[in-house]
Amino acid sequence: MDLKQLNAFIAIADLRSFSAAATTTGLSQPTLSRLLKQLETDMGVVLVDRYHRPLHLTAAGVFFYDKISAVLTELETITSMTQRLSTPSTVLNIGFVPSVLYGLLPEIIATLKLHNANQNTDLEVNLKDISSYQQVDALKTGEIDVGFGRFAHQDPWIQQILLRHERYVVALPKAHPLAHVGEQRLIDLANNRLILYHQTHLPAHSTTISAEQIQTAQMDSTISESKFKLNNKSNVTNTNLANSVTEPLLYLFAQYGIAPLMTSKVSDLQVALGLVAAGEGITLVPASLQTVRTDQISYQRLVHENVTSPIYLHTLKDFVHPKVPDLLNAIYQVYEKRGITYRQQQFV
């Protein structure tokens, strides 16, 4: 088998049509048919059932498609990385999630550029708004060289550094009864409409709330069990409670055995804050965003120290852009200037 045969099979499998695959690949239908037949002959296996419309993969074809797709994607990544290694760029493409831009990122970029100016070295920085999980593919394709994200990744091509944990604050309308309460508890927020804005969810996991966690949540909230049940619209004292919670804000509540009574989902963080400003609900945001819409929104601290949002810096394992160490040093310079605790690390 060769790459032409494999790519022909992938195109046919994706589109379930020889004519559509021909249009996509630029090959004629007879050529695609011949390449597929050669592949099946070499393997001694029928991969595509040609007698149905749209075309169907056989059981063997489904298995082969799943496995070979991953191999071809990895091959594309290796090819892209090899090309980039041979011609290093002076441009540093940085991916970021919007919430990071409201924090220290502008100061970090300014520090990086000042350092390179002092060293008389040329550096062009391109910033790209891109979600945490999309950054993984963007790193592999070369769209970005390094990314600031909020989620940990388990990918053999990616290495990460945890920069710091940023505490969440609650964003409430100025007219909200709790708007002037300096320290908020999640249990006291559970009866409000929680506005969700994350487009990226946590990896699937089982969030199990133990009896001890329930008792801690009850003690922290200093409320009766009956009110606790009412606020959560469910019996959280069930020690067998085990839910798969992947929405980041809901996961924060679930850690304390709490489920908000009402939720709404919007497209992004700015829309969420717009709705809070309009009195349509509340939300939780990283502390760096508490300068946004302050004439309409009250930001208050949460008492829970572990309700935080991590900030990660990630890049490829086998190809670190020459300017990434300078970027990391600029981050640590800003942290020192701001009195932020950190553990100094380097990419390998």
pTM above 0.85, yes or no: no
Cβ-based burial of 18 (10 A; exposed 0-12, middle 13-18, buried ≥19): buried
How far apart (Å, rounded) are the C-alpha atoms in residues 348 and 90? 20
β-strand partners of 309: 166
Report the pLDDT value the prediction gives residue 295, as an integer from 0 to 100: 96
In order of start, what are the domains of the chain with their CATH numbers?
3-86 (1.10.10.10), 91-165+310-338 (3.40.190.10), 166-309 (3.40.190.10)
The first and second tokens of residue 327, run together, are 């970027």
Q: Would you give the distance in Å from CA 31 to the centre of its chain?
A: 41
Q: What is the pLDDT of residue 236?
A: 40
Distance CA(310)–CA(151), nearest Å, equals: 7
State the DSSP string of 291-302: TTTTTTEEEEEE
What is the rounded CA–CA span in Å between residue 229 and residue 267? 30
| Residue-level pLDDT, tens digit, the chain, 348 residues | 888 999 999 999 999 989 898 988 899 999 999 999 999 999 999 999 988 788 889 999 999 999 998 888 888 878 877 777 767 677 999 999 988 988 899 999 999 999 998 888 888 999 999 988 899 989 988 899 999 999 888 888 899 999 999 999 999 999 999 999 989 999 999 999 999 998 878 776 544 444 344 344 444 433 333 333 334 444 343 333 324 788 999 999 998 999 999 999 999 899 999 999 999 999 999 999 999 999 999 999 999 988 999 999 999 998 899 999 999 999 999 999 999 988 999 998
- Confidence (pLDDT) at 323: 93
Q: Which pair of structure tokens corresponds to residue 169?
A: 């604050």
Cα 61 to Cα 334: distance, rounded to the nearest angstrom: 54
Residue 204: per-residue pLDDT? 66
Both structure tokens of 303: 């008492």
